[in-house]
Structure 1
Amino acid sequence: MNHTAARVGVGGPVGSGKTALLECLIPVLMQRGIEVAVVTNDLLTQEDAKRLKHKGFLPAERIIGVETGSCPHTAIREDPTMNLLAVSDLERLYPQLDLVFIESGGDNLASTFSYDLVDAYIFVIDVGAGDDIPRKNGPGFIQADLAVINKIDIAPYVGADLNLIRKEAGERRSQNRIAYTNCKTGEGLGDVIDFIEETVLFRQSCKNISVEV
């Protein structure tokens, strides 16, 4: 099989909005003709997989839940074998797939993805965690191909200074991309979709063409 799907990791702390982000992104991508599947990671359950299946915007067979049995970062960085096998199963069942999201279980700011597993990864933090989060220099946030600062609508209610977050996030990520999102209204989601289409999917299409040639 020459065609392989692009793989995008989605990481971030518990409650930052990783699953909610996927719930918003996937229907838009599917409407644009992009064939999508998802692998979720949980410690000893498949709660995130069940939540996505319940939404019904993807056939349940396109969502695989991996029970890592260990710290979430282990299965996305140190030994991604279980995730690689899940992706391989999806590609075998759906050879037309364009994109597989691999969602990490909730982890800390140090969590990063192995590039043996993903082509790029998104790291999600939320405003509710405080406006000092960018200053903590977590490798997941700093090194991600795209950082998503989510729940920007709640800043006034949790005493977070959104302008400070924007300033310090920009300083610490230099020229690396950042999206500011509100999953309830859709604000900022276009920036995430642009990143996926213009960067990840474009690069993968070039790879597939070169292999076929």
Structure 2
Amino acid sequence: MTFSIAAHQDGRFGIAVSSSSPAVAARVVHLRDSVGAVASQNITDPRLGAVLLDRLASGAGPQAALDSVVGGEPSAEYRQLTVVDATGAAATFSGGFTLGVHGEATGPHCAAAGNLLADPGVPAAMCEAFGSAAGELEERLLAALTAGLAAGGEAGPVYSAGLSTVSANGWRDTDLRVDWQEDPVDALRGLLKVWLPQRDDYVRRGLDPAASPGYGVPGDDR
């Protein structure tokens, strides 16, 4: 019921995801500054995201991190996981009870996976699109998500989507969600169009409020 891509670019990490389930990004997306990106999906256990990031932080590579977590997880066969680290290395895991038609793929600095898909090639299409897209990490993630949808996406309609990134600032500098709406990927595209030109201003407000630009709204007389 989900397809997603995790990726790395210039020290930043991000994930884009869509699903027929509501609020998918709240459960799937796991990011940590300077460490990596993890997507935990299918019959989802969000706790696995933090565990895998801890493994990466301790020095394990993506495949070693997956092997250690899956090997000690009694419910691993119900889980689908993707991992990308700070070198751009990537790994995936789909348990034996992954739902419906499913698939996974890795590429330079990215990993994608999906379940209950219309076509098992959806994750490969996402990695290919990420690799060929230009621009900011957010733009490349959205291009990958769009390509996944074009390649068939889920077997049924999707209703939620999300896109999040971290950039070693201490918080998610992009964190956009469409929790329940028809055509959520297109709605996500509209949100990103509004957000991306303002992203760096909001980061500056957090890091250096005295130098930050004004809000440009009534009552802001700076």
Fold similarity call, TM over 0.5: no
Structure with greater helix share of residues = 1
Q: Which interval holds the TM-score relative to the shorter structure? A: 0.3 to 0.5
**TM-score, normalised with respect to structure 2:** 0.34
Q: TM-score by structure 1 length?
A: 0.35
Q: Which has the higher strand share?
A: 2
